[in-house]
Amino acid sequence: MGARPYNRKATVAPAETFVTAGARLPAITPPRVYPLPAIGLLLALLLAISATATAQTLLRGNGPEPSTLDAHRCPEVSCGNILRDLYEGLVTEDAKGQLIPGMAERWELSGDGREWIFHLRNGLRWSNGEALTATQIVASFRRAFAPATAAPFAVHFTAIENAEAVQQGKLPPERLGITSPDPRTVVFRITRSVALPQLLLLPIAYPVYLPALEKFGAQHTRPGNLVSNGAYRLEDWRPQAQVSLLRNAWFRDVAPIEHVRYLVTEDAASELQRFEAGDLHITETVPPQPLALLRPRFGTQLRISPYLGAMWIGLNLDKPPLRGNAALREALSLAIDRDKLTRYITGLGESPAYGLIPPGVADYRPVSLPWAGATQAAREALARQRYREAGYGEAQPLQIELRYNTSTPLRRMNLAVAAMWREVLGAQVTLRNEEWKVFVGNRKQRVITQAFRGGWIADVNDARNFLANFETGSITNWSGLHDPGFDALIAAADAAPDLQQRGQKLQQAEARVLTQQAIIPVYFYTSKHLVRPEVQGFEANALDHHASRFLRLVEMRR
């Protein structure tokens, strides 16, 4: 290879600035008590040395161990975070979550609305220095949709011609509607209206380097084998401990931070302690505890912002007592005091939900239940009225099961909900908690469930992502909603010629889910992180994506 990296600065040998494993971050709040002044002096000296050395390494808490670093097979947040640094798709997002050019410098929808055309930048490179071509991008997509890959996010791409048939093995991967007419153009043929650029942020759309896959098989994701195209490349991976990334010298923009270390922080309480001890710059989450306690402790280091996730209580429409009794379902929904719940029970800035889709979704204005603006007293009066209409009362109280997966925060929430149902309606509620796999199985089968913990965290910034859970036949249609009117609206949205009309159809679809009381909206999620002051460029965004290339570490001098 005669090619050279574009930026000389990025070719500086990494070993010189590499931070030894034991190095610590500078303390922000000085420890209050030192047993001996001498030890304090020694520590201060050590900290001063490490402060200069760690400026180049970003330490990020990342939750549980990533299940895989195969971009096409990554299903969860922890692998998604790392892959976002390792790879770049045709389209990417900036620190605020806005779409910006990635491998493609521009893109457009064809005049007839049947093709998305992406024009690649000049001089794209893999992290090993080889040229990255449109043909390779197409080949990567074919591998992503091959049945054997079993890509978890392939379901979102059914708008691409033949994508579904290819994934089901009914057509060969070569028939996938993604082509490269020339080395710098990638064309997606679509069969219905779709916000494709948003979808291309998913890890399944990253280019996987197929020569490594052919050579190393399942081990193509190991350090030394993994070739990527993002701002960073893989340096080291110690299962259940950490994944280390090093700046990719072949990437067009030099990332300000040279090393990024993603640390496995499975236990949120331990992660908090590691942050307090100065072992982490950014945490993955914050363990549930009242904001009133956290704010004074962490001040501006605590970053809470709206997140594209909704918590609701699902209602099984197939089985008694909820089947065919919309008045009862509405009574249960009205009886819940969401303000109280989000203020005293969840307590980390969640906002009360009166709809399915959280605010902040792209090209969409969410819908609310008609009584969203009423006082809680008025809601409760209406709840009791609906309860009586439904055929229940003091003499004949409702007996209902509320099912959730075993977890302390969920237990607190469901206890509160049960108490509200009991207090307002006089219902007799049985709480059932189940181990996760048992719970998801029961919820999917819809045989023994009545009311249950529901909810959704968006994979893509798109309202349809939430609504797809209520389509007839959808695997995640836990409520068992079967509404041809709803299905027709989704189909109409898919056929809509532009995003505005699409949004209107989706709004009507959301309204149908709500007016039929298929779910009880409870609250919208927040993303929660602790971020040290020396980290700059960390911006709130709806999908909670924070690529390391937009972050900087500044030295804090006291």
Partner 1 sequence: MKRIALLVLEAALTLWLLATLCFFLLHAAPGGPFDSEKAAPPEVQAALDAQYRLDQPLLQQYARWLGDVVRGDLGPSFQYPDYRVNELIASSLPVSLINGSCALLLALLLGMPLGVWAALRAGRWSDRLLMFGAGLGLAMPKFVVAPLLILVFAVTLRWLPAGGWDGGWRSALLPIVALTLPNLAYCARLTRASLLEVLDADYLRAARGRGLSEARLLFAHALKPGLLPVIAWLSPALINVVSGSAVVEQVFGIPGIGRYFVQGALNRDYTLVLGVVLVIGLAIVVINFMVDALRGWLDPRLRDSA
Residues that bind partner 1 (CB under 8 A): 21-22, 24, 27, 31-35, 43, 65, 67-70, 73, 75, 147-148, 150-152, 154-155, 167-169, 218-219, 221-222, 238-242, 263-267, 269-270, 273-274, 276-279, 435-438, 440-441, 444, 459, 475-476
Bridge partner residues of 247 (DSSP)? 232
179, burial (CB in 10 Å: exposed 0-12, middle 13-18, buried 19+): middle
Residue pair 386/331 in contact by the 8 Å Cβ criterion: yes
Q: How far is the CB of 302 from partner 1 (least distance, A)?
A: 17
221, burial (CB in 10 Å: exposed 0-12, middle 13-18, buried 19+): buried
Residue pair 244/261 in contact by the 8 Å Cβ criterion: yes
**In sequence order, what are the residues at sequence separation of 6 or more whose Cβ sits closer than 8 angstroms to the Cβ of residue 108?**
116, 117
Residue 515 to residue 329: CA distance in whole angstroms? 10
Bridge partner residues of 190 (DSSP)? 160
Counting every residue written for the chain, the total comes to: 558
Q: How far is the CB of 534 from partner 1 (least distance, A)?
A: 17
Residue 181 to residue 321: CA distance in whole angstroms? 58
Q: How far is the CB of 273 from partner 1 (least distance, A)?
A: 5
Strands (E), 239-337: 242-247, 259-263, 302-315
If the CB atoms of residues 72 and 84 are measured against partner 1, the closer one turns out to be 72
Residue pair 204/83 in contact by the 8 Å Cβ criterion: no
Residue pair 235/127 in contact by the 8 Å Cβ criterion: no
If the CB atoms of residues 93 and 459 are measured against partner 1, the closer one turns out to be 459
Residue 540 to residue 547: CA distance in whole angstroms? 12
If the CB atoms of residues 155 and 492 are measured against partner 1, the closer one turns out to be 155
Q: How far is the CB of 299 from partner 1 (least distance, A)?
A: 17
If the CB atoms of residues 186 and 245 are measured against partner 1, the closer one turns out to be 245
Nearest C-alpha neighbor of 491 from the set 476, 475, 472 = 472
Q: Which two tokens stand for residue 440?
A: 């998801």
If the CB atoms of residues 207 and 454 are measured against partner 1, the closer one turns out to be 454
If the CB atoms of residues 104 and 243 are measured against partner 1, the closer one turns out to be 243
Nearest C-alpha neighbor of 464 from the set 443, 436, 495 = 495
If the CB atoms of residues 344 and 436 are measured against partner 1, the closer one turns out to be 436
If the CB atoms of residues 11 and 406 are measured against partner 1, the closer one turns out to be 406
Q: Which residues of 320-333 are buried (b: 16+ CB within 10 A; e: fewer)?
A: ebbeebbbbbbbbb
Sign of CA dihedral 189, 190, 191, 193: negative
Q: How far is the CB of 241 from partner 1 (least distance, A)?
A: 4
Residue pair 522/313 in contact by the 8 Å Cβ criterion: yes
Q: How far is the CB of 42 from partner 1 (least distance, A)?
A: 11
Q: How far is the CB of 278 from partner 1 (least distance, A)?
A: 7
Phi and psi dihedrals of 130, rounded to 5? -70, 155
**In sequence order, what are the residues at sequence separation of 6 or more whose Cβ sits closer than 8 angstroms to the Cβ of residue 377?**
none
Q: Which two tokens stand for residue 482?
A: 């079967």
Q: How far is the CB of 47 from partner 1 (least distance, A)?
A: 8
What are the angstrom distances between the C-alpha of 479 and each of 167, 366, 492, 512? 27, 21, 22, 14
Q: How far is the CB of 31 from partner 1 (least distance, A)?
A: 6
Residue pair 402/432 in contact by the 8 Å Cβ criterion: yes
Q: How far is the CB of 441 from partner 1 (least distance, A)?
A: 5
Taking the CB of residue 531, how many other CB atoms lie within 10 A of it?
A: 21
Q: How far is the CB of 465 from partner 1 (least distance, A)?
A: 10
Q: How far is the CB of 329 from partner 1 (least distance, A)?
A: 23
Q: How far is the CB of 345 from partner 1 (least distance, A)?
A: 22
Residue 403 to residue 400: CA distance in whole angstroms? 10
Bridge partner residues of 92 (DSSP)? 100
If the CB atoms of residues 293 and 440 are measured against partner 1, the closer one turns out to be 440
